[in-house]
Amino acid sequence: MEADKLSPKFIKQVDKYIITEKMLGKGSFGSVFFGYYALDQNIQVAIKQIPMQDLTKSQMDILTREIKTMKAVVHKNIVRLYEAFKTKNSLYIMMEYCNGGNLENYIKKLGGTIPEKDALIILKKIVLGFSQLYQHNIIHRDIKPENILLHD
């Protein structure tokens, strides 16, 4: 099956990755799209696309540190960075795709509260992820439900 006939719709290929039209989110620097590895559609990724024209040197320094930090930490409770590419027009950050959306939307979907059993499971995984960050002397300065991603 050809990539452009898939749903969601194929937009373009960057190195070994296909970027689709499905937007997963928008942040202060750019947008995050659903994508997949070109040779195996089962390897799904989240691709952060950041327009180079919008970046100041200071912002580029921040992103460079973020990439370096994400590469240094590999843990099952922390979103994994696979690769980062810079083209003439954009910076692309290929990350692990989390199919459950974010914690904020999950709480809203449940009517504003989470059953205690589920809350304890989620909290334990958050603590384990933060423990790994602590071991690498990393401080996450923007922890909030919309920045906690859920998978399976």
Please tell me which residue in 4, 40, 142, 152 is annotated as part of the active site.
Answer: 142
Q: Assess whether 152 carries a catalytic annotation.
A: no
Beta strands 31-37 and 40-51 are antiparallel
* Strand ranges, E, within 1-152: 10-14, 17-26, 31-37, 40-51, 81-86, 90-96
Say how far residue 26 (Cα) sits from the centre of its chain.
Answer: 11
Question: Within its chain, how far is the Cα of 140 from the centroid?
Answer: 15
3 state SS of 67 = helix
Catalytic residues: 142
